[in-house]
Amino acid sequence: MTEAQTQELLIETRKAVKIEYDEGAGLSAAELGHQLGISRTNVFKFINGSFQPKRASVVESMLNWYKNWEAAQEKQQTKQEETQDQFIQTQTSSTVYASLTYAHKFKDIALIVGGAGIGKTTTIREYQKHNRSVHLVECTPNNTTKGGVLRAITMQLGMHIPRGNVDLLESHIVKSLKNTDSLIVLDEAQFLSMSAIETVRRIHDETDIGVALVGNEKVRNQMIGTRRAQEFAQLYSRIGKQVKLNKTKKADVLAILQSYDLGEPEQELLVKIAKQPGALRQMKKVLRMATIYAKNQTVEVGHIQSAWQNLTETSI
């Protein structure tokens, strides 16, 4: 290791020592000195930059301490990321999962309606992970038409998109799905046009597979609205199961927070955040940033408020 590299690591060591003394595990200067191989007085001097270790054995001891500290930080960060990415069953996710199971098992159509950020898409992906022949089509403003949704389904089926008109494309999809135990899930279905939704209805009728339409309230309203009720009559009459999810449930939030060591005030604040626009998705982002502010210690109200301020530029 060159002298420059050693000095660079000592700078990082100084930052780590300051974190441990000021905001970390609450170690005293004497305890840190024992771990680093220097005196209590030199711990203070090292933190403020007035002590620079020269003896090789001391430098080695301090760099070994930093190496172990860094490894512990990485381990803690990995654990936090695994917790954040882990699927957690909530009341809402259980409802969505059961609806997907119904449509899949009974080859029926399910309509799942709810606001953004409450866990619909996360649950769909979890269902897809544990069940075969589940084809998730993510609807966007770019595939709202009949042709757009047919091409999106074709891509999810791993099929070559044949040349020709959309009717030919539809017939290829029907041929591929007929007599299978498939489930097609159309997420963000509110983007689909009337012709696109009717096309999905025809595919369901001709193939006898399960279909789940998942989106916000708009997808349901456009089916039952006065102007379109007649146009959507054939599809709406075929919907076997309807689920309308309200705003984030407090029980959902508390289920997610079980894996965190949080006090009651912190939990209540996060429940409040989960009821804001963005729901659970936004709450998870706030909690992720709050853990960074907490520097691997217990997250407190102040950390959550700072994270919210940072992300939204508003106070809560």
Mean pLDDT of 108-113: 94
3-85 placed in CATH 1.10.260 = yes
Does this chain's domain 3-85 share its CATH topology with 91-244? no
Q: What is the pLDDT of residue 106?
A: 95
Average pLDDT, the chain: 85
Q: What is the pLDDT of residue 189?
A: 93
Higher pLDDT, 123 or 312: 123
Q: Centre a 10 Å sphere on the Cβ of residue 224 and count the other Cβ atoms it contains.
A: 10
pLDDT in tens, 131-159: 989 999 999 988 889 999 999 999 898 88
Supply the CATH classification number for the domain 91-244: 3.40.50.300
**Position 94 pLDDT exceeds 90:** yes
Q: What is the pLDDT of residue 111?
A: 94
Mean pLDDT of 256-272: 88
pLDDT > 70: percent of the chain: 89
**Position 262 pLDDT exceeds 60:** yes
Higher pLDDT, 293 or 138: 138
Q: Give me Rg for the CA atoms of the chain.
A: 28
Q: What is the pLDDT of residue 243?
A: 92
Binned at pLDDT 50, 70 and 90, residue 24 comes out as very low
Binned at pLDDT 50, 70 and 90, residue 118 comes out as confident
Neighbouring residues of 134: CB distance < 8 A, sequence distance ≥ 6: 100, 104, 127, 128, 182, 183, 185
- Of 33-47, 138-152, 160-174, minimum mean pLDDT range: 160-174
Closest Cα to residue 273, out of 228, 311, 245? 311
Domain residue ranges of the chain, discontinuous segments joined by +: 3-85, 91-244, 250-312
Q: What is the pLDDT of residue 226?
A: 46
Binned at pLDDT 50, 70 and 90, residue 95 comes out as very high
pLDDT in tens, 175-234: 999 989 999 999 999 999 888 998 999 999 999 999 999 999 888 877 765 455 555 666
Q: Which residues pair with 136 in a beta bridge?
A: 185
pTM across the whole model: 0.65
